[in-house]
Amino acid sequence: MYRQIRQDGNVLSLDGYPDGAAVHGIAGPLPDEIKRLMVFAADLRKALEWLTNQPVPGEGKLPEAIAEAMDEAALLAFCRCFESTAGVRLRPLKAKKIFNADQRASFDRLRTIRNKVVAHDEQLTGALVPLMVKSKEFHALDALCIYLTAPFSAFTERANLLELVQIAHDWVEAECNRIFDRITTEFDALPLEVRAADVRITLTPEAVDVFGSKPVSSR
């Protein structure tokens, strides 16, 4: 299987393909489905990298704050694959198609943790304890507040997250390969004059105002 392609600025470079191979732009329902799935594939690959990142032997552990941040980022990236927003995410992944009943129970638990602990910290108030430090003569020495909480990295569900990310990643990859095979089969069935047409693509990244719907100019 080829699919080794690099983007150099606005130019696509092919690696490992036969001499004379060229890029041919395609459009339609199947390419649109590939675009949809590749968004989720990118999120799941990042989540896997963050969860499986290990320090080089002999160089010690990752700083605790960085390890916690990577675990939380992985949880957020995973969960958004199953949430409907704008663009290609109008049709998110469906947990029922990917996970069995036990895995869906773990998925629901992880999504609750994402919503109540990571994205919106609802454990915060209950874990804050205001205290007064007083002397033996019962005079105030200090007022303080302790924060008792546990990061997602310490949750037993972190292991479930790694398992579900891997399962979802493999499912998306299999779906992409299935659709790629359909695309190539259907292309080879087209008349020669269609297959020989010079259908080029141009990469023109466009800056978008994330707070609105209109593109903004790049300077």
Which of 203, 186, 116 has the alpha carbon at shortest distance from 152?
Answer: 116
One-letter amino acid for residue 56 of the chain: V
Specify the 3-state DSSP secondary structure of 212: coil
pLDDT more than 70, % of the chain:
78
Is residue 86 scored above 70 in pLDDT? no
Instruction: Quote the CA–CA distance of 150 and 109 in Å, as a whole number.
Output: 16
- Rounded distance, CA 22 to CA 12, Å? 10
Most confident of the ranges 6-20, 30-44, 145-159: 30-44
Q: Angle, nearest 10°, between helix axes 64-80 and 157-188?
A: 50
The 10s digit of each residue's pLDDT in 23-36 is 777 888 998 899 89
Q: Which residue has the higher pLDDT, 117 or 160?
A: 160
Structure token pair of residue 59: 């160089």
pLDDT band (50, 70, 90) for residue 87: low
Which residue carries 């292309």 as its tokens? 187
What's the chain's average pLDDT? 82
What is the arithmetic mean of pLDDT over 5-32? 79
Q: How confident is the model at residue 19 (pLDDT cuts 50, 70, 90)?
A: confident
Neighbouring-strand partners of residue 133: 142
On the question of pLDDT at 189 being above 80, the answer is yes
Q: Which residue has the higher pLDDT, 45 or 26?
A: 45
By three-state DSSP, how is residue 89 classified?
helix
Q: Which residues of 46-73 are buried (b: 16+ CB within 10 A; e: fewer)?
A: bbbebbeeeeeeeeeeeeeeebebbbbe
The answer for 28, left when phi > 0, alpha when psi is -120 to 50, beta otherwise, is left
From the list 77, 55, 78, 80, the residue with the least C-alpha distance to 66 is: 55
For 159-185, write each residue's pLDDT tens digit.
Answer: 999 999 999 999 999 999 999 999 999
